[in-house]
Amino acid sequence: MNTTSEIQAKGKYLRLSTHKTRRILNQIKGKNYQEAILILEFMPYKPCKIIKKILESAGNNASNLKYEKQNLIIYQAIANEGPRLKRFQPRAQGRAFKIQKPTCHITIKLALK
């Protein structure tokens, strides 16, 4: 499959946990484009909205290359860790607790059925 490298979309530096994002990506992996959009529409989790945007972007990339959206399946969906935002929470008696806010990079690749 040479065309899969072109039909993709990425979201980078997103303020989401990779654990929670991967759980949703595993649900839509291997599904066709329309079904995945429908699944993401009705899931109640925060990453769904962002994943749906990235998936629609990948679908639009495919339509720019003259592919029909109904002929596409989700070939690969990956969530990699991005840099962590490091913050400190002041505590009693002059102490400070470290807070790490995770970010992630999401890549969705589409292929023809």
Render pLDDT for 23-33 as a digit per residue (tens, 0 to 9).
Answer: 999 999 999 99
pLDDT at site 57:
94
> DSSP letters of 71-101?
GEEEEEEEEEE-PPEEEEEE-GGG-EEEEEE
Residue in 5, 2, 7, 18 with CA at minimum distance from that of residue 73: 7
Question: Buried b vs exposed e over 11-46: b needs ≥16 C-beta within 10 Å?
Answer: beebebbbeebbebbebbbeebbeebbebbeebeee
Q: How far apart are CA 103 and CA 32, in angstroms?
A: 27
- Do residues 49 and 20 touch, judged by C-beta distance below 8 A? no
> Could you tell me what percent of the chain has a pLDDT over 90?
85
pLDDT at site 44:
93
4 pLDDT above the threshold of 50 = no
All domains of the chain in start order, with CATH: 3-112 (3.90.470.10)
Q: How far apart are CA 4 and CA 58, in angstroms?
A: 11
DSSP H helical ranges for 17-87? 18-28, 33-42, 46-64
3 pLDDT above the threshold of 90 = no
- Do residues 38 and 30 touch, judged by C-beta distance below 8 A? no
pLDDT digits (tens, 9 = 90+) for 45-88: 999 999 999 999 999 999 998 888 888 999 999 999 999 999 99
